[in-house]
């Protein structure tokens, strides 16, 4: 064993840190149905919400087949939604249905908080969304009463330096033991899944399939949450495939296992890490066609400590920036200084040339990383500044697919 690795491991043991979800997580099971509904293709918010609100705990509302169109839904504590194969649950395209009360949903402003999510799970324990069916956010469809789609609105926000008011697809908040299993999520107008202040969250066998051009459509974002497992998922989207954030509370004990990422901005931590991110394990991941691969990003307005992050068995193909540890992601100033240490790369294979960046704040606060068995393609760029890197990489990667 490498000496520095041995030291890192013994420090981890001393501190009692375990770099993974502390729960023992196994493949979820779909709960029994409390009721079964057939989609008519028409708007059915009230029907679905009534079924969810009257379903007994431990059971699921079963969307058996057909197309359902709905405005915002809330899944109560202990109750689940089961979208069966062939069934499609589509979000309404009418911004008025999602408006938070200020008549701003579907418009641009300075805070972008004017829309309710499509599906809300809040203050719940043991709630889930299951099944081989599809939840479609219809982000590319023209909004009712407007001349553009949610995604075009998000593009306008970028050029006009404003924020778009567009619904997230699934918002999980202040909850415990939440499960997403087998479901396909697509075309979210905004983030697909955000789990905020939630302890115990599993996404297993989930597919996210949204165009790479759809702005701000993060795949799965654990925020200020603990005991997280994201396993056997396929994620392609227009922003971070996964982004671990800690802007409101620490995020720790995260396991990202056996996943495949297509287009997107990669496996990210940040940019908000004020309250610290630690004990993260990313094992067996393929990234094909993402702009970034393994990225930790922050700046002085939202930095904090990111430590105990281990990436193992990662293969990348056609990734522009395979590894990015960037403490100066934007020029924003402030006193929240990013510190990245105990970042380990084990068995990494990058089959196409790209740019590798290790960019710390200062020599007294460098990014600290350990490399072991890192194989990259010749012709790659390796850029370091204020970085303490132990171990080596080899420019000997070959092969045409992961």
Ligand X SMILES: *[C@@H]1O[C@H](CO)[C@@H](O)[C@H](O)[C@H]1NC(C)=O
- Contacting positions for ligand X (CB under 6 A): 22-23, 199, 226-227, 253
Smallest separation, CB 21 to ligand X (Å):
7
Closer CB to ligand X, 104 or 251, in the complex: 251
Closer CB to ligand X, 227 or 352, in the complex: 227
Closer CB to ligand X, 71 or 250, in the complex: 250
To which residue do tokens 């075009």 refer? 152
Nearest to 132 by CA among 204, 214, 33: 204
Closer CB to ligand X, 253 or 349, in the complex: 253
Determine the longest span between alpha carbons in the chain, in angstroms.
64
Closer CB to ligand X, 23 or 122, in the complex: 23
Residue 171, beta-bridge partner list: 120, 194
Is 15 an annotated catalytic residue? no
Q: How many CB atoms lie within 10 A of CB 57?
A: 14
**Active-site choice (232, 253, 265, 336):** 265
Residue nearest to ligand X (CB): 199
Enumerate residues 6+ apart whose C-beta is below 8 A from 337: 300, 303, 361, 365
SS (HEC) of 33-67: EEEEEECCCCECHHHHHHHHHHCCCCCEEEEEECE
Smallest separation, CB 267 to ligand X (Å):
22
Smallest separation, CB 31 to ligand X (Å):
21
Smallest separation, CB 16 to ligand X (Å):
12
The answer to whether residues 284 and 255 touch, using CB atoms and an 8 Å cutoff, is no
Q: What 3-state class would DSSP assign to 121?
A: strand
Smallest separation, CB 217 to ligand X (Å):
28
Q: How many CB atoms lie within 10 A of CB 123?
A: 12
| Residues forming the active site | 265
């Amino acid at each position: 064993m490498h000496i520095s690795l041995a030291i890192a491991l013994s420090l981890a043991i001393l501190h009692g840190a375990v770099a993974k979800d502390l729960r023992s997580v196994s493949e979820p099971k779909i709960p029994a149905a409390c009721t079964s509904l057939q989609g008519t293709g028409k708007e059915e918010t009230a029907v679905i919400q009534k079924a969810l609100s009257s379903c007994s705990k431990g059971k699921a509302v079963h969307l058996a087949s057909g197309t359902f169109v709905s405005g915002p839904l809330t899944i109560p504590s202990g109750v689940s939604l089961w979208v069966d194969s062939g069934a499609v649950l589509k979000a309404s395209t009418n911004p008025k249905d999602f408006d938070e009360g200020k008549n701003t949903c579907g418009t641009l402003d300075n805070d972008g908080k004017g829309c309710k999510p499509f599906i809300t799970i809040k203050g719940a324990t043991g709630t889930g969304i299951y099944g081989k069916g599809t939840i479609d956010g219809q982000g590319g469809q023209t909004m009712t009463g407007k001349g553009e789609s949610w995604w075009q609105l998000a593009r306008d926000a970028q050029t006009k330096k404003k924020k778009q008011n567009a619904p997230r697809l699934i918002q999980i908040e202040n909850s415990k033991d939440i499960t997403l299993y087998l479901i396909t999520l697509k075309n979210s107008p905004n983030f697909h899944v955000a789990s905020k202040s939630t302890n115990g969250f599993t996404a297993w066998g989930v597919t996210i399939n949204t165009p790479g051009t759809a702005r701000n459509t993060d795949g799965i974002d654990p925020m200020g949450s603990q005991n997280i497992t994201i396993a056997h998922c396929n994620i392609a989207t227009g922003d971070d495939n996964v982004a671990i954030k800690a802007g409101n509370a620490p995020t720790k004990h995260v396991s990202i296992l056996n996943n495949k990422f297509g287009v997107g901005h990669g496996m990210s931590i940040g940019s908000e890490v004020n309250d610290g991110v630690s004990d993260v394990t990313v094992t067996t991941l393929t990234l094909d066609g993402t702009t970034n691969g393994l990225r930790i990003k922050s700046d002085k307005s939202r930095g904090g400590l990111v430590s105990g992050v281990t990436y193992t068995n990662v293969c990348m193909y056609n990734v522009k920036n395979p590894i990015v540890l960037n403490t100066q992601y934007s020029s924003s100033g402030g006193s929240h200084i990013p510190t990245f240490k105990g970042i380990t790369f084990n068995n990494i294979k990058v089959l196409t040339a790209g740019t590798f960046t290790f960019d710390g704040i200062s020599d007294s606060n460098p990014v600290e990383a350990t490399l072991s068995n890192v194989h990259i393609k010749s012709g790659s760029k390796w850029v370091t500044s204020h970085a303490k890197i132990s171990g080596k990489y080899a420019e000997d990667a070959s092969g045409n697919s992961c």
